[in-house]
Amino acid sequence: MDLPTLESIALSFPGVEKEIKWKSDLVFMVGHKMFFVIDLEGPPHSASFKVADEDFEELAATAHFRPAPYFARHHWVMIDNVSKARIAEWKQYIETSYGLVYEKLPPKKKGEIQDH
């Protein structure tokens, strides 16, 4: 999996913004809340994203995944090499993470996103 494809998937959802944080992390946000992070140092490049509470333990124990440093308590996982997941998997992971974060936004912020 290449970084431009991951970026394209993440940017395909309404209201997504991106910026570089912590020197080398490409962060994707909705309503100023992070939902997907790619570590640009590498290769290989790692990435982190939010998962549903009920999926966290299982995915975090899967090959190439682990609880995301600093974010595991919020049910984020990290994959050690973005090429270890297929495009269909990435689409699902990123869409799920976006949805989980979007749903927790205040109604006013959701309205602003929908209006654009």
Let me know: does 86 contact 78? Beta carbons within 8 Å: no
Q: Please give the Cα distance from 39 to 71 (Å, whole number).
A: 14
Across 89-107, average pLDDT: 97
**Is the confidence at residue 115, as pLDDT, over 80?**
no
Q: How far apart are the first and last CA of the chain?
A: 30
Q: For the whole prediction, is pTM greater than 0.85?
A: yes
Burial of 77 (0-12, 13-18, 19+ CB in 10 A): buried
Tokens of 6: 């991951």
Across 102-111, average pLDDT: 94
pLDDT higher at 110 or 1: 110
Across 29-40, average pLDDT: 97
